[in-house]
Amino acid sequence: MLRVDAFICLVQKKSFIKLYTCLSSPHEVDNRHMLLSTWKRKQNGFKILVACSAGPHPTANSYLSTGTNTEKESSAIDCGLEEFSWPSPNDEIPFWKKDFPLWDVSQEVFDDTEKDPDLMHIIHATAEMAPIAKVGGLGDVVTGLARACLLRGHKVDIMLPFYECIQKQQINGLELMTTYNSYHDGQWVPTNAYRGVVSGIPLILIEPSNHFFKGPAVYGGCYNELEAYLFFSRACLEWMQVTGTEPDIIHVHEWQTGALPLLYWDMYQCLSIKKPRLLLTVHNMEHYGECSKDQLSKCGLDGSLYATIDKAVDDRTIGHNPERLSLLKGGIVYSNAVVTVSPTYLKETLCSGWLASTLIRNRDKYHGILNGVDTAMWNPATDVFLPAKFHAENIEGKRICKHYVQRGLGLAPNGSLVGSCLSNDTNRVPLVICITRLVAQKGLHLISHAIKHIEELGGQMVILGKASDSRVEREFESLTNLHNQGTSVRILLTYSEELSHMLYAAADMVLVPSIYEPCGLSQMIGMRYGAFHL
């Protein structure tokens, strides 16, 4: 199972690098007018590119089964049960909140990766990055892809808002790099750009001097989120302009940075940034970045110019007063290439949803590349959050992780300690976990049904989830009061990266009850940690 997943990651990064290379070639389109008439273009190199990226590469197997990998992973296995301090639900500090060593996964990555011949500079502009500002899969994918490209020799930077809640202790060498002004709503806002490194990945943090990005969470702060991300999109380009930075590729993600391609082609390309090509990844079509013309105008563009079918008008509002815009649609139209997170989701999005007609018009630049997991960050053989490490050839550590989690959460443990080993009955009762954002898309009603069934069948279940909606939170709080008293179900309504790693390691099964799932990393991580997904 471990190998299957690492293979997925390999295909993902190769496909992206081919796409980046194709985009940065001198033959690619170099002005927005061609982008806007993209559906009229004859088939170009992209089709060929997609065909190349669809299949496994012959070197995949050798990459996955190198002796060095196995050697390093084996040496990490050391159960040491005699000195083990088993957690208890009565511990003053819960076991997942203890002090863990700072984890710089870049130290564990083997630098024997084959380097690419044509090296590029890629800048990601994103709202999330794991683990310092992560809410869901977007953060995981940005970090994993950035690391994969760095390992192949490319220069990569991630531009991220400097959220007040960002985990600063995980950023190495954080320092102020540039102070500049960026535009918002008729004013130039003094803005700081900091540089830092997060587990080997260079980071540029954009900090406006206004109230944007303040608050205890990545999303849902006391500021207008749409305007804050419009500001961020422009501030990224403004930083490139004032520092004379011209990457080959600017890779934007989701609606939050959907306006960046508009700003680039209609403003900054006319100023001094000429070189970059734009790539948009749509991780989930559920969020469109709905925006009024006036709101778009706050970033300095004339919002009314974008209210046309071939640009950014939200097709659902045509004929209504007022018509609205969609930053995601604008991003699709104005990017040189658009990627979504799996070939299946690509087909689904071409067949349903109001964006389908836009995607069909832009079909020749639209690709489905299957997501992968960051195999350095998600590695049960080296994971610092686990009480015991394990890998495909030695899963003893997994049984210890299960026992550890069961004891720490007050679930009835199946096994018992015999000397420094666990008895063989640790696996008798299956442990099902579900780690998810608690939103409708994730099949909330299915989770409550699953709890009942698993209890009836004599299994155990742990749910780790965070709701962004107070109604859903209340619903799950009552489930928590109902079930957390017993010894077979635990519902934890919080976000914890550390606990999530321990739960994947402890799990026999990972429940993924989504109503629809563009790709879903949770099941891939489950496979990597030796659990089935349902």
Type of residue found at 370: L
Q: Which is nearer to ligand ADP, 97 or 211 (CB)?
A: 97
Q: Are the CB atoms for 404 and 387 separated by under 8 Å? A: yes
Q: How far is the CB of 127 from ligand ADP (least distance, A)?
A: 12
Q: Which is nearer to ligand ADP, 96 or 213 (CB)?
A: 96
Q: Which residues pair with 129 in a beta bridge?
A: 133
Q: How far is the CB of 280 from ligand ADP (least distance, A)?
A: 17
- What Rg value do the Cα atoms of the chain yield, rounded? 24
Q: How far is the CB of 517 from ligand ADP (least distance, A)?
A: 7
Q: Which is nearer to ligand ADP, 23 or 524 (CB)?
A: 524
Q: How far is the CB of 327 from ligand ADP (least distance, A)?
A: 19
Q: Which is nearer to ligand ADP, 137 or 196 (CB)?
A: 137
In this structure, the strands spanning 532-533 and 509-510 are parallel
CB count within 10 Å of CB 34 equals: 14
Residues 247, 383: Cα–Cα separation, whole Å: 33
Q: Can you list the pairs that 390-397 forms with residues at least 24 positions away whose Cβ atoms lie under 8 Å?
A: 390/77, 390/505, 390/530, 391/2, 391/70, 391/73, 391/74, 391/77, 392/1, 392/2, 392/3, 392/530, 393/70, 393/74, 394/74, 394/77, 395/530, 396/77, 396/79, 397/77, 397/79, 397/505
419 φψ region: left (φ > 0), alpha (ψ -120 to 50), beta (else):
left
Q: Which is nearer to ligand ADP, 125 or 502 (CB)?
A: 502
Q: How far is the CB of 405 from ligand ADP (least distance, A)?
A: 14
Q: Which is nearer to ligand ADP, 145 or 525 (CB)?
A: 525
Residues 473, 278: Cα–Cα separation, whole Å: 38
Q: Which is nearer to ligand ADP, 220 or 458 (CB)?
A: 220
Q: Tokens for 204, please give them.
A: 């540029």
Applying CB under 6 A, the residues found at the interface with ligand ADP are 136-138, 140, 435-437, 464-466, 495-497, 500, 520-522, 525
Q: Which is nearer to ligand ADP, 142 or 301 (CB)?
A: 142
Q: How far is the CB of 315 from ligand ADP (least distance, A)?
A: 24
Q: How far is the CB of 442 from ligand ADP (least distance, A)?
A: 7
Residues 165, 531: Cα–Cα separation, whole Å: 32
User: Minimal CA–CA distance to 222: which of 294, 155, 273, 165?
Assistant: 165
Give the DSSP H or E segment for 406. Answer: helix 396-409
Residues 346, 265: Cα–Cα separation, whole Å: 25
Q: How far is the CB of 12 from ligand ADP (least distance, A)?
A: 13
Q: Which is nearer to ligand ADP, 196 or 520 (CB)?
A: 520
Q: How far is the CB of 495 from ligand ADP (least distance, A)?
A: 4
* Cα of 16 vs its chain's centroid, Å: 15
Q: How far is the CB of 282 from ligand ADP (least distance, A)?
A: 12
Q: Which is nearer to ligand ADP, 299 or 377 (CB)?
A: 377
Residues 251, 154: Cα–Cα separation, whole Å: 14
Residues 51, 55: Cα–Cα separation, whole Å: 8
